Structure 1
Amino acid sequence: MNQTPRAETTPGPVRTGRLSFAIFALARTHRAYAGELLRGLGLYAGQELLLMQLLERDGQTQSELLATVGLDHSTVSKSLKRMQEAGLLRREPAEHDRRAMRVWLTEEGKAMRGPLEEMWAALERASVRDLDEGTIDAFVATGETIRRSVIERHRTTDASGSSPAGLT
């Protein structure tokens, strides 16, 4: 018997937020597949973001990387340490400030460009398989609108200055 994969059911408390739950379910599924592809490259989630930033501009400080990848300080620090131990990068004190650390790719790290590009292409192929260009364009535009709305959520606070249900 051929069974269709069961769609994730929406729990009762989020029925009033079905779009948000759909985004959550999509992000979780997409991230899981990306994680599977990354494991095939010997990477953990988030490390690819650091590699891509360094492939674009090698020798950034840890602070610069932190500002560009959108991960917290401890995650970046742990990821850089693991990547250094794996031989993908090296860290050295910055010339201008010995407390700051510059991050440089090794040859092995630079060689990750092709595999990372293929990983993103595989993720893209899986994501757009049943979509036409117009649908993709509309989804990207809608996703960007939602992203901006969430970032600018402070505009939806009530008159007392607090957000719904005391959330910030």
Structure 2
Amino acid sequence: MPFSPDTSAGYLINDLARRFAAALQAQIKPMGLSTGVFPIMVQLWEKDGLTQAELVRLVGIEQATMANTLARMQRDGLIERRRSDADGRVQENRLTEKGKGLHVPAIEAALAVNKSALSGLSPEERDQFLGLLSKAIQTFDSEEQLQRSPRVQLPTD
């Protein structure tokens, strides 16, 4: 079957994600946030004091990218990095008052973007769409599925 952007789940999801990110960026940029920082802030709003390793696992970005992003967040006054009382070898990332204060307006902005993006769907379609997306994500998370995934053979010269 030939590739077509109109029938490729990956292409369509990537396009939708890009549009979501652009709309969210427009809303949160005046707050001093970016779409790169937003998922980290969401995790810290849910559980303040996470370590860099925990954030890497939860957000799903590379260790080096996380280190650079956390350094920028510290520079921008969103977080403080402190040695853990429980384990002095690790640093906890704690929200500053500025970071805590952005919780409500940033989440409201994200909810508004979601509402706008899904406004063309009925409540039933929205629930089905979100359920199917979650199911596809769970499939990727399944180790068994990863082992069954066909491997692409690259041409050799």
Q: Aligned residue for 1:14?
A: 3
Q: Aligned residue for 2:89?
A: 99
- The separation in 2 between residues aligned to 1:21 and 1:87, in whole angstroms, is 36
- Does 1:67 find its partner at 2:60? no
For residue 77 of structure 2, the aligned residue among 58, 65, 87 is 87
Letter in 1 for 2:152: P
- Does 1:156 find its partner at 2:144? no
Quick one: higher RCO (CA 8 Å, sep 6+), 1 or 2? 2
Q: Aligned residue for 1:127?
A: 117
Tell me how large the CA RMSD over aligned residues is: 2.0
**Worse overlay, 99-108 or 22-31:** 22-31
- Normalising by the residue count of structure 1, what TM-score does the alignment of the two structures yield? 0.78
Letter in 2 for 1:91: R
- The separation in 1 between residues aligned to 2:93 and 2:13, in whole angstroms, is 34
Q: Aligned residue for 1:9?
A: none
Corresponding residue pairs, total: 149
Deviation at 1:122, TM superposition (A): 1.4
Q: Aligned residue for 1:6?
A: none
- Does 1:36 find its partner at 2:9? no
- The separation in 1 between residues aligned to 2:29 and 2:3, in whole angstroms, is 32
Deviation at 1:104, TM superposition (A): 1.0
Q: Is the 8 A contact 1:14 1:21 kept in 2?
A: no
Q: Deviations over 1:89-140 (max 9, x none)?
A: 1111223443311111111111011111211111112112111110011101
Unmatched segments (≥5 aa) in structure 1: 1-12, 158-162
Rg (Cα) greater in structure: 1
- The separation in 1 between residues aligned to 2:9 and 2:58, in whole angstroms, is 28
- Does 1:48 find its partner at 2:38? yes
Residue identity (%): 28
Q: Aligned residue for 2:98?
A: 108
Unmatched segments (≥5 aa) in structure 2: none
Letter in 2 for 1:50: I
